[in-house]
């Protein structure tokens, strides 16, 4: 198998970093302030109580949300970089 093209790898890393930056901007700068503006004191108390009673479930939900937000970054890297291996016929 031939060596990977460093320019193609650099393009894929840059594209996925740009996608990650866009997702970060949308989530942290746009979505969270919108959610925060709608939260009442009762909502905050409920979230604290849920975390106190079920920390694994709350942390698990955070991990799932983070994984979902990561998928576009991985997809952009894969689309930009191209096939990760050649077909089995070309592998020796």
Domain presence at residue 21: yes
Tell me if 12 sits within 8 A of 80, measured CB to CB: yes
Q: What is the token pair recorded at 57?
A: 């479930």
Domain presence at residue 92: no
- 24-42 confidence digits (pLDDT tens): 999 999 999 999 999 999 9
Domain presence at residue 48: yes
Q: How far apart are CA 10 and CA 40, in angstroms?
A: 45
Domain presence at residue 39: yes
Which range marks the domain in which residue 63 is found? 6-82
pTM for the predicted model, two decimal places: 0.71
- 58-81 confidence digits (pLDDT tens): 999 999 999 999 999 999 999 999
Domain presence at residue 50: yes
Domain presence at residue 87: no
Report how many domains make up the chain: 1
Q: Helix, strand, or coil here: 38?
A: helix
Domain presence at residue 26: yes
Residue 34: φ, ψ to 5°: -65, -40
């Amino acid at each position: 198998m031939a060596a990977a093209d460093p320019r193609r790898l650099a393009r894929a890393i840059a594209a996925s970093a740009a996608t990650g930056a866009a997702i970060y901007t949308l989530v942290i700068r746009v979505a969270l302030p919108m959610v925060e503006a709608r939260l009442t004191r009762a909502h905050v108390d409920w979230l604290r109580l849920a975390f106190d009673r079920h920390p694994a479930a709350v942390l698990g939900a955070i991990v799932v949300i983070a994984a979902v937000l990561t998928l576009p970054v991985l997809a952009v890297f894969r689309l930009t970089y191209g096939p990760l291996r050649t077909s089995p016929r070309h592998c020796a």
